[in-house]
Amino acid sequence: MAKIHARLDSGIGIEIWWQDEARVGQKNKFTRRWAKMGSRPSAPKDQRTKWAYIFGAICPAKGKGAGLVMPYADTHAMNEHLTLIGAEVGPGCHAVVLLDQAGWHTTPKLVVPENITLMELPPRAPELNPTENIWQFMRDNWLSNRVFAGYDDILAHCC
């Protein structure tokens, strides 16, 4: 927090970013579907277990975002995402990135760029992170109720 206060005192602009990850894969969820009353539409279900993770961050006030598709949700992937977010922060600005308390967000092995400060959200409170709404929209409209041909198909749909 001292880092943020020092930036505010110096007149540097602050950007508020929200960050989260979503797993997308062959074992995806069913979502509601429109159907004729009284009918029971079928939905495909895949039993294979390939998946990828979408790392996303948004700055609604500036209309900016930064996203990556990674094979794992781990410290390496988070470091890559922080580097991408840091590159998207406006010149002369500092970003406060709000995120959940996943293990790869709180590890001391995380390399946080100089123009970013991480701020953890309370545990078990996804409703505080607007990025969760993006994942829900994507699942409802593009990623659910489908069978992916393989890993490359998962990557193509995520991108």
Is residue 131 helix, strand or coil? Answer: helix
Those residues whose C-beta lies under 8 Å from the C-beta of residue 159, and which sit 6 or more positions away, are 69
Residues contacting residue 14 through CB under 8 Å, at least 6 positions apart: 4, 7, 8, 93, 94, 95, 96
Residue 16 binned pLDDT confidence (cut-offs 50, 70, 90)? very high
Summarised one tens digit per residue, pLDDT across range 33-74 is 677 888 877 665 555 568 899 999 999 999 999 999 999 999
Q: Could you count the other beta carbons within 10 Å of the beta carbon of residue 158?
A: 21
| pLDDT at res. 48 | 58
pLDDT tens-digit map of 99-130: 999 999 999 999 999 999 999 999 888 889 99
Whole-model pTM?
A: 0.79
Residue for token pair 């009353």: 37
Tell me the two tokens of residue 32.
């509601």
How many Å apart are CA 85 and CA 97, to the nearest integer?
9
pLDDT of 66 reads 97
pLDDT for residue 12 is more than 80: no
Task: Place domain 2-24+47-158 in its CATH homologous superfamily.
Answer: Ribonuclease H-like superfamily/Ribonuclease H (3.30.420.10)
pLDDT range class, residue 149, cuts 50, 70, 90: confident
The count of C-alpha atoms lying within 13 angstroms of the C-alpha of 47, restricted to the half-sphere facing its C-beta, is 0
Q: Stretch 124-152: mean pLDDT, rounded?
A: 86
